[in-house]
Amino acid sequence: MNAPVLMAEAGRRLGADHPESPLAIAGLTVAYGGKPVVVSVDLVTPPGAMLAVIGPNGAGKSTLLKAALGIVPRVSGEVTAFGQPLREARRRIAYVPQRASVDWEFPATVLDVVMMGLYREIGLLRFAGKRHRERAAECLRRVGMQDFADRQIGQLSGGQQQRVFLARALAQGAGLYVMDEPFAGVDAATERAIVEVLKDLNRAGRTILCVHHDLSTVKDYFTHVLIMNVRRIADGPVAAAFTPENLQAAYGGRLAPAQIGGIAAE
C-alpha cells in the first residue's frame, strides 16, 4: 500500500474515533511568515460542552479557532466536525467573529445582518419571504434587540453590535457555536444577556466554543476549558483543568501569584 492512501486513512480516523465530537482537532499547526503561532494543538470537544479557550495575549487562541474553521490556512493538522470533514459539516457550525472584523459603516440594517444567517436557506434565486423575516425577528427578540431591527448597524453600541452577531448565528440554527471574544468591549448588561442566551443554547444540547479573556468568569460561564499558549497546556472539565499550576504554565510571570491563588481559592 502506498503513502497517499495511508494518509487518507489517517485523515478519516480522527472523525471515526470521535464521531460525536462537534469539533475534533489533531496536531493543528499554524504559522505566519515562518513564525509558528499555534503548534500541534489537539482538542476533542465533548458534545454539549461549553468550552472556553483561554491563554495570554498572542497565545494563538483566535488563530486556533480560525484555522480549525478554515479561515486561516494551516501548516498541518486534521479537523473534523461531528465526525465529518469540515466541508460537509459547515451548515451545522455557526461562527461569531470578532466585532472589529467588519466595517460597521456598511449599508445594512440590523435585520439585514441577521438575515445573512439564513443565507443557505433562502438560496440564490428566491427573495426572502415573510417566514424568513419572522425567523430573523425571533432571533433578535432572543438577544433583546427587537426594537433595533431597522437601525443602521453603525449606529449601535459595541454591546448591541455583538448581540446582532449572536442573533445572526442563532438564525442559522447550528449545533456548534464558535465565538471569538464575544465579551470583548461589551457593557455589563450585554454580557449578562449573551451568557443567558448561550446557557439556554447549551441546555438545549448545543456545543459552544468561546475564545475568552476574563479568567474570573470562567467558572461561572463554562463547563470545559482549553488552556493554551501556542501549545496546548491543558484541557478538560473546568474543575480538573482550570488549576493554578496550569494557569501558571500558560501565563508565567504575566499573572500575579495572588490572581492565581484567588482563582484556586474560589
User: Counting contacts by CB under 8 A, is residue 32 touching other proteins?
Assistant: no
Least Cβ distance, residue 250 to other proteins (angstroms): 26
User: Counting contacts by CB under 8 A, is residue 116 touching other proteins?
Assistant: yes
Select the span of 15-23, 34-42, 51-59, 91-99 touching other proteins (CB under 8 A): 91-99
Least Cβ distance, residue 242 to other proteins (angstroms): 28
User: Counting contacts by CB under 8 A, is residue 243 touching other proteins?
Assistant: no
Report the half-sphere exposure of 137 (CA within 13 A, side-chain side): 8
User: Counting contacts by CB under 8 A, is residue 175 touching other proteins?
Assistant: no
If the CB atoms of residues 186 and 247 are measured against other proteins, the closer one turns out to be 186
Name, in order, each residue with C-beta under 8 angstroms of 155's C-beta and a sequence gap of 6 or more: none
Binding pattern to other proteins, positions 64-83, x when CB under 8 A? --x--xxx------------
User: Counting contacts by CB under 8 A, is residue 249 touching other proteins?
Assistant: no
User: Counting contacts by CB under 8 A, is residue 188 touching other proteins?
Assistant: yes
User: Counting contacts by CB under 8 A, is residue 106 touching other proteins?
Assistant: yes
Interacting residue with other proteins among 1, 4, 120, 205 (CB under 8 A): 120
User: Counting contacts by CB under 8 A, is residue 93 touching other proteins?
Assistant: yes
Taking every pair of Cα atoms in the chain, the longest distance, rounded to a whole number of angstroms, is: 63
Bridge partners, residue 50, by sequence = 208
Burial of 258 (0-12, 13-18, 19+ CB in 10 A): exposed
Interacting residue with other proteins among 37, 50, 113, 238 (CB under 8 A): 113
C-beta of residue 51 within 8 angstroms of C-beta of residue 208: yes
Give the chain's length: 266
If the CB atoms of residues 51 and 179 are measured against other proteins, the closer one turns out to be 179
- As separate numbers, helices (DSSP H) first and strands (DSSP E) second, the chain gives 12, 10
User: Counting contacts by CB under 8 A, is residue 183 touching other proteins?
Assistant: no
Amino acid letter, 96:
V
Short-list 139, 181, 142, 137, CA closest to 162:
181
Query: Distance between CA atoms of 47 and 127, rounded to whole angstroms?
Result: 35
Joined together, the cell numbers standing for residue 144 give 433583546
Report the half-sphere exposure of 250 (CA within 13 A, side-chain side): 29
Amino acid letter, 123:
G
Least Cβ distance, residue 117 to other proteins (angstroms): 9
Which residues in this chain contact other proteins in the complex, by CB under 8 A? 66, 69-71, 87, 90-91, 93, 95, 97, 101-103, 106-109, 112-113, 116, 119-120, 122, 124-125, 152, 157, 160, 168, 187-189
